[in-house]
């Protein structure tokens, strides 16, 4: 699993083609509070029952609040045959600090 900082992810997203799936694994209330544009919400607890919904060939950026839950989900996905996973180190908290200072924090 690769680990990207918020700045590295922003730069990567500017040129990535095709665009990766931005998989936000936080709770719905967290997603409503602050989210990265274009992210898809699938709470961490739902991942085991939804893993078959994801394309194993697609690049997936896993996102959470600080990067801990997303790393755990990334490892889970790798254990289920996914090989193109990126964890957003620092999560949406780092994104709000380093990329989008207008984003709400919590």
Task: Give Cα 100 to chain centroid, integer Å.
Answer: 16
Q: Is 64 a catalytic residue?
A: yes
CA atoms within a 13 Å half-sphere pointing along the CA-CB vector of 14: 7
Catalytically annotated residue among 6, 47, 61, 64: 64
Q: Where in the sequence numbering do the catalytic residues fall?
A: 64
């Amino acid at each position: 699993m690769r680990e990207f900082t918020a700045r590295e992810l922003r730069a990567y997203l500017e040129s990535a083609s095709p665009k990766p799936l931005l998989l936000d694994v936080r709770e719905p209330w967290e997603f409503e509070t602050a989210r990265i544009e274009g992210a898809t919400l699938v709470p961490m607890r739902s991942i085991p029952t939804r893993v078959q919904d994801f394309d194993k060939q697609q690049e997936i950026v896993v996102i959470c609040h600080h990067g801990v839950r997303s790393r755990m989900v990334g490892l889970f996905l790798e254990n289920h045959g996914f090989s193109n996973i990126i964890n957003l180190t620092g999560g949406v908290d780092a994104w709000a600090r380093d990329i989008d200072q207008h984003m709400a924090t919590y």
